[in-house]
Structure 1
Amino acid sequence: MILAAGLTPALQQIVVLESFSTGEVNRAVETRWCASGKVLNVGIALEHLGVASRTLSLLGRRADSYIEHELATLDISCRWIRTVAPTRICTTILDRATGRSTELVENAAAVTADELDRFADAFAEEARDSRAVVLTGSMPAGTPRDFYARLLATTTAPVVLDVRGPELHAALEHRPLLIKPNVVELAHTLSCSAEVLAEDDDALIAACRELIERGAQWTLITRGSRPALLCSAAAAYELVPPRLDSVVNAIGSGDCAAAAFAWAITGGHDVPDACRHALAAGTLNARVLLPGRLSAADVTAWAQRVECRRV
């Protein structure tokens, strides 16, 4: 079993416009609602990949019935820790004219110490039987920065850690198998220039190795249209996924990558090849409107099209 765990689910509204103009009335040509947030995107992707999985998250009022119903319809095994604070609602605006997306993100409200304790207990229980763990997403306001480190201390399973900033720093001592910030998140974590990291390969490798020295086993860094970079203490690789002629909705592509990596690792692939599956999944996700709706056969086929070269 693979465990997808995170503290900040969301109910997502996706609004498709022919053209988006700020300060003007914009009328949608299509509107969809879906369960989302990084942890739920990972859980949905794992289910579509056909692997045994469990999704553990917080769930509050306002959006709970919709999210529960959708995930039940998708046959996703979930464990919820109920919160007094409502689950957030986020909006994605897709502009067909430019192909660009705009994200309106509601930050997750604070939860109680008791709710966090119950989540930690549930995590330890679920992770005990897991072959891999994907721990992902931001933390609600006021959550202790070492909370993810506290969770990782309770598992020996290989961990994909998709967080940033102080919470990433605190968790590195527990040696996650893979961390996967994008270049902006990496710069935020290390308090350095994203522009330099995006353009200077040597600086980017040095930044990755800094996080490896602190405990990460591998780092996978995405940087927009440029090749992704995979680093360990001993090796570095560039990975180039196939180009898409058009992008429908890239939201959730990083979450699909995390899910596919865990799926591939538990299927016996080594880390570089698992990252080829990760980038294939992220690319395929951008072709559809709703996040996480992957096909294992498609991901396997597209992984063979991801170039992987040592640098």
Structure 2
Amino acid sequence: MIFTVTFNPSLDYIVGLEEFHEGEVNRSEWEHIFPGGKGINVSMVLKNLAIGNVALGFVGGFTGKEIQRRVKAFGCYTDFVKLKSGISRINVKVKANKESEINGQGPNITKKELGRLFEKLELIKKGDVLVLAGSIPKALPEDTYENIMKHLENRGIKIVVDATGELLLKVIKYQPFLIKPNKQELGEIFGVTLKNREDIIDAAKRLQEMGSQNVLISMAGDGAILIGENARVYEMKAPKGIVKNSVGAGDSMVAGFLAGYLLDGDLWEAFRMGVATGSASAFSEALATKDEILKMLGQLPEKES
């Protein structure tokens, strides 16, 4: 079973208009509401690929109820910790001549409520996968990821971490199964500008030497690189398409990688499925469907070059 954790989920209110005028009344031309959060995105894409999973995290107030309702209506299993006070955040995303975002802070989470999440993590057993995705909200200790990974250490659980900067560096010593920084994040980790593929591969290998089993680097239109636990380097060019929505593409890549890996443990197939799924979501208005993913998969090489 796959478990995902979203510490600070949201309702994403997306509005579109031809042009946004600052300081004036603007009226939307279209609008959508989606449940948001990196772990939730992974869960929803896995559901589209018919991969069973459980979405964990924290929800509060009327927005929290709506997040859970929408995720369950999508067909995902949920086991969120329900907070006694505060409301889950609302993120406003304006798509106009320029894209702008206003992200809410999210509710306070008590030590007791964090303890309830740890109780739910006890259900994870050997052979299961845990996805820790996104940043740690201010309401939680900065070492929450570390504490979770230390708590689950040596239990035979594959842990995927999709985080950035110091948050990622501090957990690598616990040997996560997979980490997925993008090219820019990879450079920021080491305080350098990555100028070519050799720079990217060298930096990714440094992360592997520090503890990560597999390092997946997403590079947008330039494709992706995987440094595998088998000491091999896999590369793939990005398929052609028009980017319609980059939100959730990285989360979709993680979901696709896991879906491909669970078939037979083959890293090339996992990598191939990850690239196809991430690209399919980028070329869609929402998270990619199974048909969109399979269509994209058909455009990618079946064998390593």
TM-score, length basis structure 1: 0.87
Which residues in structure 2 correspond to 1:139-288 (within 5 Å)? 139-153=136-150, 154=152, 155-190=155-190, 192-193=191-192, 196-197=193-194, 199-232=195-228, 234-244=231-241, 246-288=242-284
**Structure 1 residues 28, 42: CA separation in 2 closer, same or farther (over 3 Å shift)?**
same
Provide the rounded CA distance (Å) in 2 between the counterparts of 1:261 and 1:215: 19
Report the counterpart of residue 119 of structure 2 in structure 1: 121
**Structure 1 residues 85, 214: CA separation in 2 closer, same or farther (over 3 Å shift)?**
farther
Q: For the Cα contact (< 8 Å) 1:133–1:262, is it kept in 2?
A: no
SS of match in other structure, 2:223 = strand
**Structure 1 residues 308, 161: CA separation in 2 closer, same or farther (over 3 Å shift)?**
farther
Report the counterpart of residue 92 of structure 1 in structure 2: 93
Report the counterpart of residue 300 of structure 1 in structure 2: 294
Q: Which amino acid aligns with 2:274?
A: A
Q: Which amino acid aligns with 1:260?
A: G
Give, in angstroms, the shift of residue 293 of structure 1: 4.3
Q: For the Cα contact (< 8 Å) 1:124–1:151, is it kept in 2?
A: no
Q: Which amino acid aligns with 2:94?
A: I
Provide the rounded CA distance (Å) in 2 between the counterparts of 1:205 and 1:157: 27
Report the counterpart of residue 138 of structure 1 in structure 2: 135
Give, in angstroms, the shift of residue 301 of structure 1: 4.0
Provide the rounded CA distance (Å) in 1 between the counterparts of 2:42 and 2:91: 17
RMSD: 2.4
Provide the rounded CA distance (Å) in 2 between the counterparts of 1:202 and 1:309: 22
Larger relative contact order, structure 1 or 2 (CA cutoff 8 Å, min sep 6): 1
State which drifts further: 149-158 or 77-86.
149-158
Provide the rounded CA distance (Å) in 2 between the counterparts of 1:309 and 1:76: 33
- Correspondence for 1:112 among 106, 110, 113: 110
Q: Which amino acid aligns with 1:64?
A: G
Q: Which amino acid aligns with 1:206?
A: D
Which residues in structure 2 correspond to 1:10-49 (within 5 Å)? 10-22=10-22, 25-49=25-49
Q: For the Cα contact (< 8 Å) 1:250–1:286, is it kept in 2?
A: yes
Give, in angstroms, the shift of residue 309 of structure 1: 8.9
Q: For the Cα contact (< 8 Å) 1:241–1:307, is it kept in 2?
A: no
CA deviations over 1:153-194 (Å, ceiling 9, x no partner): 31422222111222212221221121001123223333x13x
**Structure 1 residues 22, 243: CA separation in 2 closer, same or farther (over 3 Å shift)?**
farther
SS of match in other structure, 2:76 = coil
Give, in angstroms, the shift of residue 216 of structure 1: 0.5
Q: Which amino acid aligns with 1:254?
A: G
TM-score, length basis structure 2: 0.89
Give, in angstroms, the shift of residue 286 of structure 1: 2.3
Q: For the Cα contact (< 8 Å) 1:59–1:80, is it kept in 2?
A: yes
SS of match in other structure, 1:90 = strand
Q: Which amino acid aligns with 2:141?
A: P
Q: For the Cα contact (< 8 Å) 1:132–1:158, is it kept in 2?
A: yes
Q: For the Cα contact (< 8 Å) 2:127–2:156, is it kept in 1?
A: no
Provide the rounded CA distance (Å) in 1 between the counterparts of 2:118 and 2:82: 13
Provide the rounded CA distance (Å) in 2 between the counterparts of 1:228 and 1:93: 29
Give, in angstroms, the shift of residue 129 of structure 1: 6.5
CA deviations over 1:247-289 (Å, ceiling 9, x no partner): 3222111111111111111111412321211111111112333
Tell me, which stretches of 5 or more residues in structure 2 are unaligned?
none
CA deviations over 1:214-259 (Å, ceiling 9, x no partner): 1101111122322322224623222223111x33222111111111
SS of match in other structure, 2:55 = strand
Q: For the Cα contact (< 8 Å) 1:248–1:287, is it kept in 2?
A: yes
How many pairs align?
300
